[in-house]
Structure 1
Amino acid sequence: MKTLNHYVIYGTLITSAVNAQAAKTPAATIQNINAMNTEKLNNPIVKQAIDALQSGDKQAWFSLFTNDAQLFDDGNKMDFKTFFEKALGHERFTSIDKVEQNGLHLYGKFHSDQWGDFKTYFKFTIGAGNKISKLEIGQAG
């Protein structure tokens, strides 16, 4: 019984320490930990896609793409659906540094729970019905 009580007390102490640190951190900082400025995104379809990526919203993400959307990762053709089923909720931009080609090409810093932090590009191709038909992603220099 002492062991069980010890863990409960220990858990409470950890929670108290985390809450004490959070109390010292401005609320705006806490709210913006995963937020990112998307003002540079001037293509509404790309903005919707990045918003879905950032929030890990699979339904919103997949609804923006054609059924046969193509994905290329550093030039290698990948299975779009399988790739993003795994990636959504675990990968996101931390900043968007440059937008080109009428808002279809994005360059910025990226975080992947699996691969860490790196610079990346996303290049969208929008086809019929204003759906994304192709996405090229990869590490940017």
Structure 2
Amino acid sequence: MKIYSIITIFTTSLSMIACGQTMKNKQKTEIQSSKKQQTMDVSKITDATVKQAIEALQAGDKNWYNFFTENPVMTDDGHTVDFKSFFSNALGKEMFLSIDRVENEGKDIYGNFKAGQWGTFPVFFKFHKNPEGKFERLDIGQSK
């Protein structure tokens, strides 16, 4: 009788472990699928440097900062803000959900943007290059 109980408990335990592993694998697959769905089409962006910068922004990659001068000017809805401070909070949490329009030779990007606690809304990012090809200014804000 004891051996039968031990075998039953052992078999039940193995079944539960297998079920738990299946659930973990399913959750992992769902997370990977969700990340793939977040990939956004950047093919509309015609300026190569802007495209690379937006790809870094989308990935939450700190390489984003390398596209800019040491102290770029930044405005948010017309108000001057500190670029590094702003993106230290936003990078990896905020991103474009879609690129709807590109203007000014690929340097002005319009699209739907997920802005963390602020929600999702249409925005513009306007990149300004210096003669060396780095961005010296970034204007962002809500678009109409």
Name the TM-score class by shorter chain.
0.7 to 0.9
Determine if the alignment matches structure 1 residue 74 to structure 2 residue 77. yes
Residue matched to 2:135: 132
RMSD, aligned CA: 2.5
What is the match of residue 51 of structure 2? 47
Find the counterpart in structure 1 of residue 66 from structure 2.
63
Give the C-alpha shift of residue 30 in structure 1.
Answer: 4.1
Q: 2:37 maps to what in 1?
A: 33
Identity %: 41
State the 1:95 CA deviation. 0.3
Residue 64 of structure 1, CA deviation: 0.5
Which stretches in structure 2 are left out of the alignment for 5+ residues? 1-15
Moved over 3 A (4+): none
2:119 is matched with: 116
Task: Give CA-to-partner distance per residue, 1:2-40, whole Å, 9 cap, x none.
Answer: xxxxxxx8xx76x828827x57xxx8x545222000110
Residue ranges of structure 1 left out of the alignment (5+ in a row): 1-8
1:16 is the counterpart of 2:20: no
The CA deviation string for residues 96-141 of structure 1, in whole angstroms up to 9 with x for no partner, is 0000000010100011222111110000000131000000000111
Question: 1:43, CA displacement in angstroms?
Answer: 0.2
- Whichever of the two has the greater Rg, that structure is 2
Amino acid at match of 2:65: F
In structure 1, how many angstroms separate the alpha carbons of the residues matched to 2:121 and 2:93? 14
2:109 matched residue in structure 1: 106
Q: Which residue does the alignment assign to 2:9?
A: none
TM-score normalised to structure 2 length? 0.78
TM-score by length of 1: 0.80
2: distance between equivalents of 1:114 and 1:134?
Answer: 25
Secondary structure in structure 2 of the residue aligned to 1:129: coil
User: In the alignment, does 2:97 pair up with 1:94?
Assistant: yes
Number of equivalenced pairs: 126
